[in-house]
Amino acid sequence: MYSFRNYVIDNLYPDGYVRQLMKNKNKDERKIIRKKINSIISECSYACFVFSLKQFFEEGTRAAKEAVRVLNGLGIEKIYIGKKEYSKDNQNVNEGKILYEIMINTISDKQLKELIIKANYFSDIIKRYKNAVSI
């Protein structure tokens, strides 16, 4: 299974990078470097995960709005999926947007929040953390 953590590691640390970084370092220095690397990997993985949820919620909202628009064009004013009613701009159509806003507002780190909001691709997030890699 390929996880966000594996994706981040593969993109931040090319083969042999960490080994080269640890070369000629004593035990205490290696411990400090490992701790910093793990911290960078964890935060970047979290940012990538939240970004993927952002994309999922935004795409869900777009899809729901488009489905309602197309069905309205066919004379169908509302549809039901399970017990939920979907009609032009009701809360259910905007549920993805609402969930995204709730999620993003739980992030207290302003720089991290801004990074996720402004990112268009995973590479935008990775790029920010690549700058933190050189120890």
0.85 exceeded by pTM: no
Q: What is the DSSP letter of 78?
A: E
Amino acid at 50: V
pLDDT at residue 134 in the model: 61
Closest to 4 (Cα-Cα) out of 134, 129, 133, 135: 129
- When pLDDT is averaged across residues 5-32 and rounded to a whole number, the result is 84
Check: CB of residue 50 under 8 Å from CB of residue 74: no
Q: Where are the domains of the chain?
A: 4-133
Q: In percent, how much of the chain has pLDDT > 90?
A: 62
Tokens of 95: 């549920």
pLDDT band at 83 (very low <50, low <70, confident <90, very high): very high
